[in-house]
């Protein structure tokens, strides 16, 4: 049976696009994006979804009296589609504990840093300020604490001496587009799940995916927990 994804976005939608391509190409097999919900009416990602024939919905958080009210409405909007997985793809809103608890194990996020380094905003500028040699992206299960859920896949990219936040962001985004579909495929196929607060792998992450060489990158290294860890 086709697995259903609901994607939540706030902006550009490049991760939405890479996930859509992965569903269409079979990299994420038997899976369809059934709805894209944005909390911003002007999110460019909405047009990408519409072009692809995906139903979209705008739920502007400013129209709700409280964070709890918005999250309750969002939950209703999502559950109307009965998704297998709820995918945060650049959704720039903190979520309430009750929302996160409702979707525990079925809610994933991509964050532009090697968590637990640099949770929150402005990750690329902060990485450069710290002078780190490696930066990257993390796909993780969402838990109530912001950007603190257990990691499913991480990609590390080198920081170059002449990087500025925009250049570094571009390199990280390329890596994001590779690892998010891989993580979704692993979860939807049942190879990876959240159990007792930790990520469990029933089979090793595909060996071929452990190191990715990208033409514009020196290297992208996939880091995954060992199976059963
Ligand atoms: C991505 O870089 C994603 O990692 C980040 O927002 C961007 C969305 O880009 N998410 C967060 O910072 C969440 N804390 P996109 O709209 O082109 O996918």
CATH of the domain at 105: 3.40.50.170
For 101, what's the count of Cα atoms within 13 Å in the CB-facing half-sphere?
4
For residue 109, the enclosing domain spans 3-223
Residue 71 clears pLDDT 80, i.e. is over it:
yes
Q: Which two tokens stand for residue 137?
A: 């992206």
Give SS3 for 80. coil
The answer to the question of residue 50 being in a domain is yes
Respond yes or no: is residue 81 known to be catalytic: no
For the CA of 172, the closest atom of ligand 1 is 2
The answer to the question of residue 228 being in a domain is no
Residue 54 clears pLDDT 50, i.e. is over it:
yes
The answer to the question of residue 229 being in a domain is no
Catalytic one among 61, 81, 102, 111? Answer: 111
For the CA of 15, the closest atom of ligand 1 is 18
Q: Give me the pLDDT at residue 226, please.
A: 52
CA torsion 159→165→170→176, rounded to 10°? Answer: 80
Nearest CA residue ID for atom 10, ligand 1:
90
Pocket of ligand 1 (CB under 6 A): 9, 11-15, 45, 89-90, 110-112, 173, 176
Q: How confident is the model at residue 211 (pLDDT cuts 50, 70, 90)?
A: very low
Q: How many domains does the chain have?
A: 1
């Amino acid at each position: 049976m086709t697995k259903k994804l609901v994607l939540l976005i706030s902006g550009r939608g490049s991760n939405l696009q890479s996930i859509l391509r992965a569903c269409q190409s079979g990299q994420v097999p038997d899976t369809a994006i059934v709805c894209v919900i944005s909390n911003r009416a002007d999110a460019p990602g909405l047009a990408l979804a519409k072009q692809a024939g995906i139903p979209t919905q705008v739920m502007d958080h400013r129209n709700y009296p409280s964070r709890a009210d918005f999250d309750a409405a969002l939950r209703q909007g999502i559950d109307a589609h009965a998704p297998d997985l709820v995918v945060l793809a650049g959704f720039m809103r903190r979520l309430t504990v009750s929302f996160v608890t409702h979707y525990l194990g079925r809610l994933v996020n991509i964050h532009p840093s090697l968590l637990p380094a640099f949770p929150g905003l402005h990750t690329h500028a902060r990485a450069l300020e710290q002078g780190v040699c490696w930066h990257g992206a993390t796909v993780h299960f969402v838990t109530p604490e912001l950007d603190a859920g257990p990691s499913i896949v991480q990609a590390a990219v080198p920081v170059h001496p002449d990087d500025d936040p925009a250049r570094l962001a571009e390199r990280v985004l390329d890596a994001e587009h590779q690892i998010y579909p891989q993580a979704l495929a692993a979860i939807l196929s049942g190879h990876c799940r959240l159990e007792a607060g930790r990520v469990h792998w029933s089979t090793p992450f595909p060996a071929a995916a452990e190191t990715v060489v990208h033409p514009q990158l020196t290297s992208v290294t996939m880091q995954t927990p060992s199976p059963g860890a």
